[in-house]
Amino acid sequence: NAGVTQTPKFQVLKTGQSMTLQCAQDMNHNSMYWYRQDPGMGLRLIYYSASEGTTDKGEVPNGYNVSRLNKREFSLRLESAAPSQTSVYFCASHRRVSGANVLTFGAGSRLTVL
């Protein structure tokens, strides 16, 4: 199993450009999440999808949109990129195993907005 796969791994944008970060999981998990990580900080939740067909805002949703295309895929779109969106973005999916809640992360996508 590949787990959680994110593309692209690296991207450089100019201010005002748009792009979509793709995320796919092959573990049949219901819940998926997008987090961002800025230098010296922990992760902050942007958006999440508790199940196919539903999406909800997290702590820092401004400037982003999401689509839960199907159970496997959860994409994050920047419509008009700003330098403040320079960050590392992580997609994750959640499962419950033997009473424990486990969050599995993708490898991350490093985005630079000039």
Contact positions toward another protein, by CB under 8 A?
Answer: 31-33, 40-45, 48, 50, 56, 58-59, 88, 90, 92-94, 96, 100-105, 107-108
| Smallest separation, CB 79 to another protein (Å) | 24
| Smallest separation, CB 45 to another protein (Å) | 6
Give the bridge partners for 67, in sequence order: 75
Classify each residue of 9-37 as buried b or exposed e, where b means 16 or more C-beta atoms within 10 Å of its C-beta: eebebeeeeebebbbbbeeebebbbbbbe
Nearest CB to another protein, comparing residues 10 and 14: 10
Is residue 103 within a helix (H) or strand (E), and if so which, with residue range? Answer: strand 100-105
Nearest CB to another protein, comparing residues 80 and 102: 102
Alpha-carbon distance of 76 to 103, in angstroms, equals 18
| Smallest separation, CB 47 to another protein (Å) | 10
| Smallest separation, CB 15 to another protein (Å) | 25
Nearest CB to another protein, comparing residues 32 and 78: 32
Nearest CB to another protein, comparing residues 85 and 93: 93
3-class DSSP assignment, residue 75: strand
Alpha-carbon distance of 100 to 92, in angstroms, equals 16
